[in-house]
Structure 1
Amino acid sequence: MPLANAVQLIAYPNRIGRGLADLGDFVDLLGNAVGGIHLLPPFPSNADGGFSPLTHREIDPAYGTWADVERLAAGRDLCLDLVLNHLADDSPEFQDYLRHGRASPHAALFVDVDALGPIGPEELARIHIRKEKEPFREIVFADGTHGRVWCTFTERQIDLDYRSEAVYRLMADNIAALAGHGVKLLRLDAFGYTTKQIGTSCFLVEPEVWRILEWFRATAAGHGVDILPEVHDHPSWQHAIARRGMWAYGFALPPLVLHALSCGDARQLKAWLRMCPHNQITVLDTHDGICIPDAEGLLPPADLEALIQDVSARSASPVLRRQGDAVHSVGAIYQLTCTFFDALRRDADAYLCARAIQFFTPGIPQVYYVGLLAGSNDDALLRRTGEAREINRHYYTAEEAAGALHTPTVRRLLRLMALRSTHPAFGGTFELAYSADDALSMGWRAGRHSCWLEVDLRRRAAVLRHTDEQGRIVETRC
């Protein structure tokens, strides 16, 4: 069955209340405002906020059970992360590898760095890395011998070797198991790092990356599941993903919307709206922050730099991109760590305009739980953890989250979400109408139904005109 054309909520298993049962109670409060949920990893994990899974077959008992997950999937589309690039170093497979070395039945799962051939300064310089050191970890086997494995992210996350059939068997089993629990959409986390070829960037290496993605698309489709490959890079990647029948990510939208509202200029946003894929998942905020590479080539460099400087004044330290030969240098900005509400200076009208633009953009919109509750930067959590992205990952008690639903800004947002999730016009045709450079006019039509949005970017005011059940035009302000 196709995904419901309705708003999805992005949430951790334990940051609205104590666990999945509390999250389920909270989602029930949202009624028809949401038609799906993207549940961030609920699996046993030892690092990276759940993205270092020991297995995809179990739910961390601290969060709940598979029954709690299936409750979230009942009557809604459920998206789960398939962390396909790596396994936790505490996983049974890697622990067996440490005990038995190459004699382990799981040895083929992991990248033997020393078997890849010489990696000199020139080869290292090309590798796209995500931390302040080369992406290798030395390990000691039980017999005292040494080896090296690949770790793109933390030392606890051991990369898988996609030259091995054993990895595909593991992933096929994971996909089948997750589909059996009601998953409709799999977000393929960090898939771009699966292509390890010395002498290349080892990131999004073509054509190998497309062969890997096509295997995941076909395997998931065999279980009635769609895939959402996650990548931050030039916007051409999203077009290429969409052309291959997979869900693309509208990661360019957040910086384009921030630029339009901060400058009162919609020209670049409109240009993207004319050409963006329609089989996309749109976001303004995620657990990772506001991503920048996706807007490169869409916003002029000076405008992108001005946006970075503006939001950075209210952010934690940005996440950087580096290369293997310059691991301690300042790289290009990768992600801005800030809630979207704070990025817009906690201006409720601007925030509702941004959400309205997102909801009228082609695709299925996702709203991050902090954004749903118009949350501000959690500076205390940042100081406590030292992790920049935690500034946008507040822990809400069940009572705190339920109470936030009654604040004026969130009530306005919920009305807008309910309209987007239920109005029949959004199942029809998207239209972008002429408007001045400091305005935006866009809408949807299906038969006798229509839903239209007019945004005055300088006044930060948005007006909705939509048909009711009798086909009469109703006008409201966001």
Structure 2
Amino acid sequence: MREFGGAGFDQANHPKVQHIRERVEQHVGNVYGAEAAAGISSAIMREADLADAAIESHTMVDKWDESDVVTISYADTVQKEGERPLKTLQRFLKKNLRGVSSGVHILPFCPYTSDYGFSVVDYQQVKPEFGTWKDIQEIGEDFDLMADLVINHCSSKSEWFQNFLLDKDPGKDYFVLGDEYEDLSKVVRPRSSPLLTQVETASGEKEVWCTFSADQVDLNFRNPDVLLEFVKIIKSYLKKGIKIFRLDAIAFLWKESGTSCVHLDETHEIIKLLRLVIETINPEAIIITETNVPNKENLSYFGNDNEAHMIYNFSLPPLLVNTLLSGDCSHLKTWMMSMPPARRGRAYFNFIASHDGIGLRPAEGLLSQSELKGLTDTLCRFGGEISMRKMPDGQLKPYEANISLFSALAGKIGGERDAWQVERYLCAHTIMLALEGVPAFYIHSLLGTENDLQGVAESGELRAINRYHWDEAALEDALNDDEKHHARVFRALKDRIKLRKQQAAFHPNATQYTLHFGKQVFAFWRESLNRDQSIFAIHNISDAKQVIPIVELNLIATEQWRDILSGVVITEGMKSIELEPYGCAWITNK
């Protein structure tokens, strides 16, 4: 119930409203200057209805726990002829993943022109071929909804850009012009395409900044009107039930001549402002930053507990895949020991595969050049391709591996496909489920989907290799056929997810320590926040049987211990635990 009302109520002077406004002005001033702060802040307060939201808001502390698991899917991954794919997806998710996943990330569902959704034409609409907002909200009845805020750029066919070409509002000042930046020599690129694209406008030829492609034109956040447009979009999404916001390509948001134009201070300040807006409207809402960059740079997006609630754990996919293909967990252990525990209120967003591919930049400085080449050569042998990015000096370097995760784990580095693909695959996900953070499963990983080479041939897009479109009936048949790996993988992963959700020691912020049992065993210890549950998570990442002496686990003798994956109880006379190739054990005292 509101704390205000009546003719004499002075909303503007309410302490909560004043507090929020002061914080908004601080962030705005840090970006646009003190003189402009008051006017821009007033517009933000008005467009987001922040005064009303501030008065009604309550403090939200715990946004996640061990029961949180996210499934990631395109709107049209599962299809039925004659039916909107969002409706088909909703039925599949409800039937198969309700009670398993807590949240669903529906990848870009707005009308778009390229990059499979990440070139948005209209942020307020759902692509008609996919369905409607009502279809999305029906998914939200069973799962927390996560959506992309494609904030760095929009489609060249959007109303904003078409207005830019005609020198009309809204849009004529919404885009970054190359001639306004004297020195572009240090700009960090995620692609090999040209940075600037020439376009013909009503006022002559201009060069617009395109970080990703000529169809994805970068938005000019130096113009506060662009920021206000996204405040309106955020407010609209929150009203429609979106709870988790993925800030796409956020690292590239602000441009400054003579710099890398990535991770700039203004970008961090805008994230802080957006978090304030989002949490004021809905204290339960979450921001996740998508920054496919080396690990140290990625960690900066936690800020001082005032930026991202979660960050994608981008170094995990290449390191974990390399670990399982090499049979050596040394680099994975070194990385994990270097990772600072995410403080309460922050968490890592763990994933192994995505709609794009396996990012290779986050492995820079963690794998040597020869190791990286061994990894990429192996992935190519298993049907994958390597996308490149252009360095400031024009040199091309590996950016990501385009391959389905199931196909990627078909064998070992330097070898051919072997008999351990399913076991290796399940081991990878079992590790992810046990790690500090919130686990996220790309739907094709849950389903064990293989490389879609036909999709690549038809689209000409390397990323299509991991974006297969399942026919609903064919998928259900595959998941009910025990002879097919899809059924074995889906059933096993769901069982392990359900087990994870019951363990307090797997809270995303529970204590984690690395254990040392040699290069072929990746192990760590987790302890619940209230310290009453311990779990020793032990994983054989090799194709040879491993023996773990019980004495080396240092189990407390007065407690009863058991492996919750196998059900085996650790008895007093037991000397060791044997793990079959790619076998796993979660040994707990609860």
TM-score, normalised relative to structure 2? 0.73
The higher radius of gyration belongs to: 2
Give, in whole Å, the separation in 1 of the partners of 2:126 and 2:511.
40
**In structure 1, which of residues 215, 226, 233 is the aligned counterpart of residue 293 of structure 2?**
233
1:185-244 deviation per Cα after TM superposition (whole angstroms, max 9, x unaligned): 11111112212222223233x323322322222222222322111112221022222343
Amino acid at match of 1:415: D
Amino acid at match of 2:526: W
2:319 match: 256
Give, in whole Å, the separation in 2 of the partners of 1:433 and 1:459.
20
Task: List gaps (5 residues or longer) in structure 2.
Answer: 1-59, 412-420, 481-486, 548-552, 554-559, 567-583, 585-590
2:433 match: 359
1:419-461 deviation per Cα after TM superposition (whole angstroms, max 9, x unaligned): 2234333234334333222112224333544444221222377
Judge conservation of contact 1:124–1:325 (CA < 8 Å) in 2. no
CA positional deviation for 1:325 = 5.7
1:105-126 deviation per Cα after TM superposition (whole angstroms, max 9, x unaligned): 4222112333x054xxxx3432
Asked if 1:345 corresponds to 2:419, the answer is no
Amino acid at match of 2:438: I
Change (3 A) 1:443 1:398: farther
Task: Tell me how large the CA RMSD over aligned residues is.
Answer: 2.5
2:476 match: 402
Amino acid at match of 2:139: L
Judge conservation of contact 1:356–1:453 (CA < 8 Å) in 2. no
**In structure 1, which of residues 96, 112, 127 is the aligned counterpart of residue 187 of structure 2?**
127
| Secondary structure of the structure 2 residue equivalent to 1:128 | coil
Change (3 A) 1:355 1:52: same
2:537 match: 453
Give, in whole Å, the separation in 1 of the partners of 2:545 and 2:442.
23
Judge conservation of contact 2:124–2:233 (CA < 8 Å) in 1. yes
Judge conservation of contact 1:4–1:35 (CA < 8 Å) in 2. no
| Secondary structure of the structure 1 residue equivalent to 2:516 | coil
**In structure 2, which of residues 77, 81, 87 is the aligned counterpart of residue 21 of structure 1?**
87
**In structure 1, which of residues 414, 419, 426 is the aligned counterpart of residue 494 of structure 2?**
414
2:158 match: 91
1:468 match: none
Give, in whole Å, the separation in 2 of the partners of 1:14 and 1:80.
15
Give, in whole Å, the separation in 2 of the partners of 1:96 and 1:281.
38
Task: Name the stretch that deviates more: 149-158 or 78-87.
Answer: 149-158
Give, in whole Å, the separation in 2 of the partners of 1:72 and 1:233.
32
Amino acid at match of 2:331: Q
| Secondary structure of the structure 2 residue equivalent to 1:280 | strand
1:377 match: 451
Task: Name the stretch that deviates more: 84-93 or 445-454.
Answer: 445-454
Give, in whole Å, the separation in 2 of the partners of 1:320 and 1:474.
43
Judge conservation of contact 1:360–1:443 (CA < 8 Å) in 2. no
Asked if 1:215 corresponds to 2:297, the answer is no
RCO higher in structure (CA 8 A, sep ≥6): 1
Percent pairwise identity = 27
**In structure 2, which of residues 510, 518, 532 is the aligned counterpart of residue 436 of structure 1?**
518
Give, in whole Å, the separation in 2 of the partners of 1:217 and 1:460.
48
Amino acid at match of 2:207: R
Change (3 A) 1:56 1:104: closer
Asked if 1:289 corresponds to 2:357, the answer is yes
Amino acid at match of 1:365: P
Task: Name the stretch that deviates more: 77-86 or 405-414.
Answer: 405-414
Give, in whole Å, the separation in 2 of the partners of 1:252 and 1:194.
22
Amino acid at match of 2:276: A
Change (3 A) 1:144 1:250: closer
